[in-house]
Amino acid sequence: MELKVIAYAQNGHTDKFGIPRQSREESPIMTRIVFEPEFRIPEALRGIEGYSHLWLLWGFSEVPNNPEQRAKEGLSWSPTVRPPRLGGNKRMGVFATRSPFRPNPIGLSSVKLVGIEDGDLIVSGADVLDGTPIYDIKPYLSFSDSHPEAKNGFAEETKNRTLEVEVLPALDQHLTSTKPAQHLVSEICYILSQDPRPAYQDDPEREYKMDYAGYRVTFVVADGKVVVKKIEKI
C-alpha cells in the first residue's frame, strides 16, 4: 500500500533529543496538525469536537520512507532491537517494542484534542518531531481502545520513572516575564522530567544541550535530579 501524507506536525521539537519516548496524557506539549491542501477540508473534521482524544498515525522522521534508501543508510528493520528503556543493552523482538526500526516505520500516538484553529487541529501529548508526516487521524474510542489493566511487558518497570527538575531561579524569573514563556518553561520541565538522556548515560558532570521551540536548554542530571543551567534564544 502506498501512503499519502495528509498533514504535517508543527511543534517545538525541532531537535530529536528531548522527544518523549511515548505519548502521555499529562504532557503539556502542544502540536499543531497542519493539513496538506488536498486534505484541508473543514467538513472532513465534522463531529471531531465530540471526541476528547485522537489517534495519530505518522512516519518516523529518522527513518527514510523508501526501503532501498533505508537499506543504504543502514536503517533497515532488524528482528531484534535494544529498547532505551532497558538501558540499551538488552535485545527485544521488534514487534514487542515501539521502535522506529520496524518493517513499516509507522508510529502510533494517542493525543488529546485541544481545539480546531483555522482548519488545523491543536493536540497535546504527541511524541513527534516538528515536521513529522501524518498519514491518518482517527477518533479514540474508549470502548474498544482502552485497556487500563493491560500487562505492559518489559515496559512496566520503567513506565513511571520521572525526574525532579529544578530551573535556577534567575532563569525562571527572566523567562516567565512574558506569558508564552511561562508555558514554555512548563513544557521544558515536562520534557526534562521524562529523562531524555540516552539510557546508558549517567555522568553527573556531563552538560546536555537540547533545542526546543527556538531555545537552547543546557542541563545536568545528578542524583536523579535535573538542574537547568541555561535557557538561551537560538
Name the residue with cell 543504504.
72
| Contact positions with a copy of itself (CB under 8 A) in 195-234 | none
Which lies closer to a copy of itself via its Cβ, residue 111 or residue 231? 111
Alpha-carbon gap, residue 209 to 230, rounded angstroms:
9
Rounded to the nearest whole angstrom, what is the least distance from the CB of residue 78 to a copy of itself in the complex? Answer: 9
- What is the Cα–Cα distance from 149 to 181, expressed in whole angstroms? 38
Binding segment toward a copy of itself, per CB under 8 A, in 3-11, 175-183, 199-207, 209-217: 3-11
CA–CA gap between residue 114 and residue 124 (Å, rounded): 7
Query: Position 215: which residue type?
Result: Y
Q: Which is nearer to a copy of itself, 116 or 171 (CB)?
A: 116
Residues 4 to 63 in contact with a copy of itself, rule: CB under 8 A: 4, 6, 22-25, 39, 41, 43-53, 55, 57, 59
- Interface with a copy of itself in residues 54-83 (CB under 8 A): 55, 57, 59, 65-67, 79-80
In the complex, the smallest distance separating the C-beta of residue 198 from a copy of itself, rounded to whole angstroms, is: 20
Distance CA 59, CA 224 (A): 33
Size of the site for a copy of itself (CB under 8 A): 71
Annotate 181-210 with b (16+ C-beta within 10 A) or e (fewer): beebbebbbbbbbbbbbebeeeeeeeebeb
Residues 160-179 binding a copy of itself (CB under 8 A) are 160
**Could you tell me the smallest distance in angstroms from the CB atom of residue 32 to a copy of itself?**
15
Q: Which residue has 529544578 as its cell numbers?
A: 166
